[in-house]
A = this chain, B = another copy of it.
């Protein structure tokens, strides 16, 4: 369904060509200052078409808060947000009715709903993420204000071009401790904080684009200052909820937290994170953080960090084989 979360609960709506896209965010604590100005910057960051590197369609996504605030303060009631669709014409991809596009949701939507998502009527559009971004902006503001939580996501791989994301490397752990969103955004649209690699990533994308092709990438995210004790044992472990959320993003194909796939080949004696007592904060810390900030599904106060691979975009401008199958 289109709802996620229990205490902070997001419900989204909208397709590519309907009147608007948006969401209802329930469970926002009352008394927090909140206006469109808190949300718009994230929607603007989300927008494709900010550079020649990403798709050139210009989407002017202006958020309008419909409810849940009064005099710039949250009421504790649901916050509805609406972002008008500029392009409300359904069926502008007319050819797609006839043939399902490879690795799009056309075929599966047709099987499940009997409808053609191809015309913009489905929820597999990247515009569906607008409601998530708007909701996330509220969550982020609350977490920052109340617990000084910092969340920074950045690109660590495009195609074959990778920056260091070795969890056993102290340099990478240092990056996780220090990277800021300002730094990431200053790197231009590629949003890779390693300047040497960022240039190569741009070339990698341009290479595939020149070939009328596309390429994938990996996004890594760090969450700092998360309080201890979040997450549930058993099914709703913190990492399980994160994985659920990440794999629900269109085109994501995986998730790893802490040492992830790499950690498999590191013995317990090295993988285990030994404790030490930190005088300044009067609490137990771990010297390494191969666990990625969770133990037994519950946050331990260290950095949460995880990576998510996104496959190459399915829409490519070259002709593809077997396109002319009727369904």
- Chain A residues at the B interface, C-beta cutoff of 8 Å: 1-4, 6, 9, 11-15, 17-22, 24, 26-27, 30-31, 64-71, 75-80, 82, 90, 99-100, 102-105, 107-109, 111-115, 117, 119-124, 128, 157, 159-160, 208, 211, 213-218, 228-229, 231-237, 239-248, 250, 253-261, 263-269, 271-277, 284, 286-287, 290-292, 294-301, 309-316, 318, 320-323, 325, 327
Is B296 in contact with A124, judged by CB distance below 8 angstroms? yes
What's the minimum C-beta distance from A264 to chain B, rounded to whole angstroms?
A: 4
**A309→B260 contact, CB < 8 A:** yes
Give the number of times this chain occurs in the complex, counting copies. 4
Cβ–Cβ contact A271 & B123, under 8 A: no
A118 to chain B, nearest CB (A): 11
Which one of B13, B313, B327 contacts A284 once the chains associate, using CB atoms below 8 Å? Answer: B327
Given B26, B31, B218, which contacts A11 in the complex, CB threshold below 8 Å? Answer: B26
Excluding A105-B233, A112-B229, 7 further A-B contacts by CB distance (< 8 Å) are A1-B232, A3-B235, A18-B70, A107-B275, A112-B228, A216-B271, A240-B245
Shortest C-beta distance, A217 to chain B (Å), equals 6
Partner of A254, one of B232, B254, B290: B254
C-alpha gap A274/B316 in the complex (Å)? 13
A3 touches B26 (CB 8 A): yes
Determine how close the nearest CB of chain B comes to the CB of A194; give it in whole angstroms: 17
> Is A263 a contact of B111 with CB atoms below 8 Å?
no
Kindly list chain B residues whose C-beta atoms are within 8 Å of the C-beta of A310: 264
Q: Is the CB of A274 within 8 A of B102?
A: yes
Question: For the complex, what is the distance from the CA of A284 to the CA of B104, rounded to whole Å?
Answer: 14
Interface pair A228/B111, CB less than 8 Å apart:
yes
- A3-B3, A247-B243 given as contacts; is B77 within 8 A of A233 (CB)? yes
- Check if A272 sits within 8 Å of B103, measured CB to CB: yes
Say whether A267 contacts B214, CB under 8 Å.
Answer: yes
Query: CA of A140 to CA of B274 in the docked complex: distance in angstroms?
Result: 40
- Is there an interface contact between A295 and B105, defined as CB atoms closer than 8 Å? yes
**Closest CB-CB distance, A269 to chain B, in whole Å?**
5
**What are 10 A-B contacts with C-beta separation under 8 Å?**
A1-B232, A109-B233, A123-B296, A216-B266, A235-B248, A237-B248, A243-B244, A254-B256, A271-B311, A284-B325
**Residue of A26, A102, A231, A323 ringed by the most chain B CB atoms within 10 A:** A102
The complex places the Cα of A213 from the Cα of B272 at a distance, in Å, of 11
> For the complex, what is the distance from the CA of A68 to the CA of B9, rounded to whole Å?
20
Query: Which of A100, A112, A325 has the most C-beta atoms of chain B within 10 angstroms of its own C-beta?
Result: A112
Distance (whole angstroms) from the CB of A23 to the closest CB of chain B: 8
